[in-house]
Every structure is written in C-alpha cells, then in structure tokens.
C-alpha cells in the first residue's frame, strides 16, 4: 500500500538530466548543475528523514522498523535465557505426584495443553482430534500416555520428558477409556481444566471417577520457579524495550497497521517473532479495550495504546503502554486521566504480596479510579496470571476470593475507556482509552509489594 519512496527522487533526477546532446560548456555551468543537483538531493533527503511526516504515503515502508531497531538492538541480550531443563521437568512431575498422593487420587490426566507442556514438554502443537491422546502422571510419578494405536509412532517422535514411560495403545475397535481402566486399575483421577467434556464422560463410563483440578494442583503451575522467572523477565523486559523503541520513532500520520508490522518484524529480528501478537489503537479507537477498525492514522493530540507480546521458550509476555509521540500533546484533562491510571496501577502493586486476596488487589486499583470519577469506565478486571498461557490462574477480579502466593506472576493492567459519545457528557472533546500493564511477581514478604517483571513502570506518556 505504501508508495515506493524513491519515486520522487527518480523524477527529479530525470528532469535534471539534459536531453542530448549534453550542453555542459564551462566549469561554471558544471558547478551550477552540481549545486542544483545537490540542493535537490538535500531537499529530498531532508523531507524523507527529518521532517515530521505529514502524510501516510510519505513514510517509507520499513522506516519505523529500522528506526526502532537502532534503539532496541542493544537490549537483545535480555532474551539470552536458558530453556527449562530436563531436571526441572522431572522435578515438576515428582512434586505433582506428591500432591496427587495427598489428594487421594491415582493420577493426573491431561490432553495436549499448557499442563502437558508444563509437566512433560508436550505442547499444544500436537492438535486435539476426536481420538483421545492422554498424558498421565500418577501418584508414583510414573509417566504414561494413552494413544491411538496407529499414532504411536508419530507421538513417540515428540520431545517429551520422562524418567521412563509406559505407552497404552488403544486400537480403533475398542473404547480408549476401557483400555485405560484395564491397563491402569485407576479408580479416581484428577482431570486438567482444559480437558474436553467427552474425556470426563468417557472415563466415568469406564468406571474411573474424574474430579476437577484442585486449587492446590492449579497453584503448582501458577507459582513460578527461578528458571521460569528468568524466562518471564527476559521476554517481558524485552517487550517493554520494544515498546520504548517504537515510542521514540512513531510519527503523526502513521497507520495502526504500520506500527503492528514494525513490531512484528522487530520481534522477528530478535528471534522471538513466532508467537507475536499486538493490539495498537489510536485516539478514541482505544475506547474499546480490544479494538477498533483498521486504517486509522495517528493525529496530533491522540494517545497511542500498544498492548503487545510474544513468547520465549513457550512463556509469554504481555505489556501495555499508552504513549504519545515526541512533540505531540493532549489536553491537561487527558494527561490527568493518564496519571490516574498510573496511580491505580501503583496502588495495586503495593498490595501484591503473599496472602492478599485477589479481589482486594483489584479493589485497590479500582478505588483510585473511582475516586477520580471514572469508576464506570474501568470496565474489565485488573489482571490475570501469565506463564505458559497468556491468561491463566490466578485472576485479579472482584469475585475471586483466592489468596495470592509468593512466586505467582500476575498482570496488573488498569484502564479507563471513554467513547466519544460518553466524552461529551464528561465535557471532554473526544473519546480515548488509556491502559498500563506490567506483569508483577507476587512478593514473599508483607509490605514492599510486587516486583515489576518488565524492569520498570511507565513514568509518563513520553517515557513508557
């Protein structure tokens, strides 16, 4: 869609080129020609690189990416973090086994999911079909799986982690659940929360009682180890640096799509582009927390909301900043709203200690926003757990009486969203959406509050 930026230069060149025969006669004329040529080149250069872009089509494709990369590339070593080791996978299996024993169940059963990824390195890239492939860890830490007989070869090729394995094959002419019951003798199992209903009913029909994942076992995955925290710090820290590098280069007139494209390429250049996602919203489009229509360009006086992430070793990043391009200003009222969101985030971080209740943390952020009169415009929960899943336990919302545990990583993302329609009633010119989000590590002592996994919080719309 963007025009080739070299076009005008070529035209200028062509006009300058004398028609044959060449009529250079004196050194003076040659010098004049050179000066004219130089002036035009300088002007073209100036208009491409230094003048704030007035129209979208003047922004060369790839310019934003190149500009941001200069700032971002020194931070690439943030991603230099080791993946989860075999020992840690085996450790997870034995911790799970002990918890199953305590709970009085024979085994934990999951389909390919974040849980199978967590316990045995079997990711969801093995897609679910109507034929069950079940990953099993029992109370003696025995790893096994139930697989369709004709798929056994393909499944054996996965990079699973186990001490030793038992394979339970089910032929097409038999019920997989009857085969499982007969092979294991299980009476009662705990089923992963993402397992499908047909798995639960199939097991029950074969005489195996299936119970939902307990909170204790859920929290094994919610509480992060040092290895996991290093990965989460790496990818979230890098993601924030990427947003900062974009802020330095975004110009009035750019489209939302050009920002998304640049961001995607920046993650790609850093080697973590595969799971990239982004929500980029300008001005009143951000009044809808998850989107607006495409094609909009940034105008002066509009915030840019960037909610963005990717994955490193299967662990996700999730960072939001609401920024202003350098030189762009919003009204004092809008700046005040920005600082209200910042204060709400701070109030909740202070509470993100062990044993604080999820609903209380949500309420702490909400109170700051409500006191400023924007309570009804903070329309979503405060945050969610982050790890192998982009949204996982625990959830910071008003209905969750669960207590935080040391080592959980939870996003803290207050926002205020006012549509242009609603703005009129508040005597504001135009709608807007402002959100600030950092993943926070729940701290182990009372008092200091959570630890910011991106490295630092936003200081202003110009210092994200």
Ligand X SMILES: *[C@@H]1O[C@H](CO)[C@@H](O)[C@H](O)[C@H]1NC(C)=O
Site residues, ligand X (CB under 6 A): 86, 89, 121, 123, 159, 161, 354-355
Residue 343 vs 354, nearer CB to ligand X: 354
Residue 216 vs 355, nearer CB to ligand X: 355
Q: How far is the CB of 144 from ligand X (least distance, A)?
A: 18
Q: Where are the beta strands (DSSP E) in 235-354?
A: 277-282, 304-309, 311-312, 315-316, 319-323
Residue 12 vs 158, nearer CB to ligand X: 158
Rounded Cα distance, 111 and 126, in Å: 10
Residue 3 vs 86, nearer CB to ligand X: 86
What's the longest Cα–Cα distance across the chain? 103
Residue 144 vs 345, nearer CB to ligand X: 144
Alpha carbons within 13 A on the beta-carbon side of 220? 22
Residue 58 vs 357, nearer CB to ligand X: 357
In sequence order, what are the residues at sequence separation of 6 or more whose Cβ sits closer than 8 angstroms to the Cβ of residue 137? Answer: 93, 96, 97, 100, 107, 108, 119, 120, 143
Rounded Cα distance, 418 and 174, in Å: 58
Q: How far is the CB of 84 from ligand X (least distance, A)?
A: 6
Q: How far is the CB of 410 from ligand X (least distance, A)?
A: 17
CA-angle at 78, arms to 77 and 83, nearest 5°: 100
Q: How far is the CB of 442 from ligand X (least distance, A)?
A: 11
Q: How far is the CB of 76 from ligand X (least distance, A)?
A: 20
Q: How far is the CB of 225 from ligand X (least distance, A)?
A: 14
Residue 89 vs 378, nearer CB to ligand X: 89
In sequence order, what are the residues at sequence separation of 6 or more whose Cβ sits closer than 8 angstroms to the Cβ of residue 254? Answer: 53, 56, 59, 64, 297, 298
Q: How far is the CB of 88 from ligand X (least distance, A)?
A: 8
What would the two tokens of residue 32 be?
């004049």
Q: Which of 379, 350, 330 is nearest to 457 (CA)?
A: 350
């Amino acid at each position: 869609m963007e025009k080739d930026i070299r076009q005008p230069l070529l035209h200028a060149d062509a006009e300058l080129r004398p028609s044959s025969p060449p009529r250079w006669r004196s050194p003076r004329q040659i010098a004049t020609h050179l000066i004219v040529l130089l002036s035009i080149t300088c002007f073209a250069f100036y208009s491409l690189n230094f003048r704030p872009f007035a129209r979208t089509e003047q922004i060369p494709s790839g310019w934003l990416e190149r500009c941001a990369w200069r700032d971002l590339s020194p931070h690439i070593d943030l991603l230099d973090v080791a993946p989860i080791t075999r020992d840690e996978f085996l450790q997870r299996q034995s911790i799970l086994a002990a918890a199953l024993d305590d709970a009085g169940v024979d085994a934990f059963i999951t389909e390919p999911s974040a849980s199978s990824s967590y316990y045995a390195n079997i990711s969801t890239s093995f897609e679910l079909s109507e034929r069950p492939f079940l990953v099993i860890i029992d109370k003696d830490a025995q790893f096994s799986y139930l697989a369709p007989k004709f798929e056994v070869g393909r499944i054996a090729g996965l990079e699973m982690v186990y001490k030793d394995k038992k394979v339970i094959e089910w032929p097409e002419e038999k019920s997989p659940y009857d085969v499982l019951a007969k092979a294991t003798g299980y009476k009662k199992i705990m089923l992963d929360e993402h397992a499908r209903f047909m798995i639960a009913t199939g097991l029950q029909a074969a005489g195996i009682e299936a119970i939902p994942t307990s909170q204790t076992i859920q929290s094994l995955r919610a509480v992060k180890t040092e290895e996991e925290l290093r990965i989460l710090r790496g990818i979230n820290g890098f993601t924030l640096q990427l947003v900062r590098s974009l802020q330095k280069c975004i110009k009035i007139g750019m489209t939302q799509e050009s920002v998304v494209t640049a961001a995607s390429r920046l993650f790609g250049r850093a080697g973590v582009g595969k799971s990239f996602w982004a929500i980029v919203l300008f001005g009143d489009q951000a009044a809808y927390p998850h989107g607006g229509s495409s094609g909009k360009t940034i105008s002066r006086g509009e915030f840019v909301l960037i909610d963005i992430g990717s994955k490193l070793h299967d662990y996700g990043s999730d960072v939001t900043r609401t920024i202003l391009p350098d030189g762009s200003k919003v009204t004092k009222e809008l700046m005040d709203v920005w600082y209200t969101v910042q204060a709400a985030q701070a109030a909740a971080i202070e509470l993100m200690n062990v044993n604080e209740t999820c609903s209380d943390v949500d309420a702490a952020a909400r109170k700051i926003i409500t006191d400023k009169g924007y309570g009804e415009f903070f329309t979503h929960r405060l945050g969610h757990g982050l790890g192998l899943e982009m949204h996982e336990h625990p959830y910071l919302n008003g209905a969750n009486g669960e207590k935080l545990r040391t080592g959980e990583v939870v996003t803290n993302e207050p926002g205020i969203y006012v549509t242009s329609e609603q703005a009129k009633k508040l005597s504001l010119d135009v709608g807007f959406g402002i959100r600030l989000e950092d993943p926070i590590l729940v701290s182990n002592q009372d008092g200091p509050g959570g630890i910011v996994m991106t490295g630092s919080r936003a200081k202003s719309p110009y210092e994200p």
